[in-house]
Every structure is written in structure tokens, then in C-alpha cells.
Amino acid sequence: MIRWLSLLACALAASISFAQGYPNRPVKVIVPWPPGQATDIAARLVALKLQESLGQPFVVDNRPGAGGSLGTAIAATSPADGYTLLAASSGPISIMPSLQKVQYEPQKDFVLIGLITRNPYALVVNPSFPAKNAKDFVALLKANPDKYTFASSGTGATAHLLAELFNSMAGIKARHIPYKGTAPAMTDVMNGQVDYMIETVAATVGQVRSGRLKALGVSTLKPAAAMPDVPTLAQAAGLPEYDAAAWIGYAAPAGTPREAIERLSSEIQKAVHGELQEKLVNAGLDPADAPPGGLGAFMKREQERYAAVIKAADIKVE
């Protein structure tokens, strides 16, 4: 008994010592995207605040390639010591494992430390499109199955899956037109060559404000910070369960000490809902609220939802 208490005391002392001493050297943040991409912007803003609050450099290491899976795989096999983190996002974590073979298993290989942003999408159409609002839009497309078309930045992209999810929940049948990127897809919607798309608020807000696109609703349960006057699709289209967004956060290799995870999580939340809030909104990124059920449940729920969409729509990538 005495020996057991002694071991427990030593373990507790080591835990307290780690928490108080972490970090005591630079921390690397792997960003699996090129500089200037949304995940990179959000990760850098948070890294700067963590550097200030924790007193050690947080060094961003861009490792782009293979749709974010290359850098994510590197992070998955990094030491689980709190000194290598991943700028995680919905593409490589929640979607890609259900579309193609990747060298990691998100729920097994990572622990989600904290969410930074949850970025809403907007249903946009050409201003001359005959539907005045989301309710009319759904009624029109339901009455004309396969007549209308929707664009996306590519097969299997988040925008494609969110549109498929919306179509399924609304009972819509429309033809998907994939593009190589957001810009050409949005151009054809603005020109009326394709009927609609569901794309990020950050990408569409400028065209909505200029009058070249009309926004019928946003994909989250609360209005987007950059489009406060646009209703939610949950309300405007009568789809109370439709709540979808791309997310960005920080993750660490599974097995990273709990004390490091808790300290980082606390500092990230203080930064996101404190000094960084305005900067994130100005960059077109909505600061994330704490997800119901916790971060582990959130990561599992997101992956399962997109897997179901991919299966139901029989989405395949080359």
C-alpha cells in the first residue's frame, strides 16, 4: 500500500512538473497546405498567440500535397510529446479517409486539441434565378428533378459534399458539374451557365455584396459573421437538421500527454474567443464554439456524416 501511494505521488508530481514546464522548447505546427490558404491563416494567427502566452516559439512548417493528406500523415507519425502539432481541417481529417486511401486513421492517430474556426457556406444563385428565397428554391427544384445543375470546386470537395447533403435533406435531384477550383465554378454560376452552388461565405461574400450573386441562405445554425443579414438554410429552407461547415483546429498525435493537451486547449479557446476573434472574422473565418459532446465526439460525428454522404451519392475520385 505504501509503495502504491509512493508511485502515485511520483506520477502526480511528474504530471504537475510537466504541466508547469510545458513547453520548454519550440513547438512545430505542421500545416498540410500552402501559405495563404485558410488553414494556414488560422493556424498562424493562433500560433502567434500561443507563442505570446506560453513563452516559446510556435514554428509553422508548411507541408502541402495530396489534398492535405501528405502533411497530415507526417504529423500522425511524429513523436507524441506535445512538440509537434497539426493544423487539422475537415478535408484531410473528416472527408478524405472515406474517399481514398490515406496513410493515417484520424480517430486512432490524432487527438483534437481545439477548434479554431467553423466556416459557413452559402447557397448562391445568379440574381436572375426565378426563386426569390430558399423555400421557393427548394419547391422549384423538387418540382423539376434533374433539370437544374449545381457547381462545385471538384468532385469530393467539401463544397460538393455540403451540396449533396443539402440536396438529399431537401429532396432535390440536380446534376453536379465539377470544376477545377472555386473561381471557375463561381464564374459560371454568376454567368447563369450553372444554376447554383454551395460555397464558402469567405469566397462568395464579395460577389454577393457586388450584386453578381444572390445568397439564399447559409449552412450553419447561426448566421455567418460576414453575411449577418442572410438567413440560415435550416430556417429559410425548412431544414432544421442542416448544419454543416468546414472546420479548422489544432490536433496532436495520439498519446500526447494530457497535461499538454489541456494547456494548449485552454490557451487556444482564450485566443479564439478573445483577441483573435475580430481578426478571424475579418479573414472571413467564423470563430468556433465548443461542440456538443466534446471534441472527440465532434471528430467522430463529422467523419461518419461525410462517409454517409459519400456512400449515398456514390462519390468516387480518380
Torsion of CA 76, 82, 86, 90, to 10 degrees: 90
Residue 105 maps to a domain = yes
Task: Verify that 141 and 72 share a domain, yes or no.
Answer: no
Q: What is the pLDDT of residue 7?
A: 40
Specify whether the CB–CB gap between 116 and 288 falls below 8 A. yes
- Which residue range(s) make up the domain with 278? 26-119+245-312
Tell me: do 51 and 107 sit in the same domain: yes
CA torsion sign for 221, 166, 295, 49 is negative
- 170 and 223 housed in the same domain: yes
Whether residue 216 is found in the same domain as residue 282: no
What pLDDT is attached to residue 3? 47
Statement to judge: residues 138 and 211 lie in one domain: yes
149 shares a domain with 113: no
Tell me, what's the pLDDT at 20? Answer: 61
- pLDDT one digit per residue (tens) for the chain, 318 residues: 554 544 444 444 344 445 568 999 999 999 999 999 999 999 999 999 999 999 999 999 999 999 999 999 999 999 999 999 999 999 999 999 999 999 999 999 999 999 999 999 999 999 999 999 999 999 999 999 999 999 999 999 999 999 999 999 999 999 999 999 999 999 999 999 999 999 999 899 999 999 999 999 999 999 999 999 999 999 999 999 999 999 999 999 999 999 999 999 999 999 999 989 999 988 888 999 889 889 999 999 999 999 999 999 999 886
* 11 is a domain residue: no
- pLDDT tens string 151-172: 999 999 999 999 999 999 999 9
Q: pTM to 2 decimals?
A: 0.87
How many other C-beta atoms lie within 10 A of the C-beta of residue 73? Answer: 20
Residue 277 maps to a domain = yes
Q: Provide the CATH number for the domain around residue 194.
A: 3.40.190.10
Contact 250, 114 (CB under 8 A): yes
What integer pLDDT is reported at residue 12 of this predicted model?
A: 43
Report the number of distinct structural domains present in the chain: 2
Which of 195, 215, 236 is at the close of a domain? 236
Residue 211 burial (CB < 10 Å; 0-12/13-18/19+)?
A: exposed
46/58 same-domain check = yes
> Residues 211, 283: one domain?
no
**229 burial via Cβ count (<10 Å: 0-12, 13-18, 19+):** exposed
Do residues 140 and 219 share a domain? Answer: yes
Nearest to 162 by CA among 180, 150, 145, 149: 150
